[in-house]
Amino acid sequence: MNTEIKTLTEKVLEVMREYKVQYPEVKMDNDYIPFKLTEEWGECLQAYLMLTDRGRQKGKSKDEIKKEFGKEMADVFGYLLAFANQEGVDLAQELDSKWFAYLKK
């Protein structure tokens, strides 16, 4: 696994462990991560719709919405890293073999 992705994944997992300690009532089974990923993707898209004037602005400025969009994108990325780790997927390797294969032609 790519060192940068591994480091980010380790930090994400550390945050998730801390969350589990702070909120022991939250059932964090194998389905928790993909469900949270879906939830966060929805929140990211909601912010995107607001940013692109296709959603209610909720009294927020464009700068506030853009910051919220970035935070939601980070949530999506964090949960994606956690999900890949949970399922044993090496994202760096998969990007290299699928996406970056087009660059090797």
Q: Determine contact, residues 81/8, Cβ cutoff 8 Å.
A: yes
At 78-105, the pLDDT tens digits run: 999 999 999 999 999 999 999 999 998 7
Whether the per-residue pLDDT at 12 is higher than 90: the answer is yes
Looking at residue 66, what is its pLDDT?
98
CA distance 60 to 95: 36
Question: What is the value of pTM for the model shown?
Answer: 0.92
Provide Rg for the chain, Cα atoms.
16
* Interatomic CA distance for residues 77 and 42, integer angstroms: 13
Question: What are the sequence ranges of the domains in the chain?
Answer: 3-104
d(CA 50, CA 60): 9
Instruction: Report the topology of domain 3-104.
Output: Helix Hairpins (1.10.287)
Percent of the chain with pLDDT over 70: 99
CA 60 to chain centre: 23
Distance (Å, whole) CA 51 – CA 59? 12
pLDDT on residue 51:
97
Q: What is the pLDDT of residue 104?
A: 81
pLDDT, one tens digit per residue, over 13-58 is 999 999 999 999 999 999 999 999 999 999 999 999 999 999 999 9
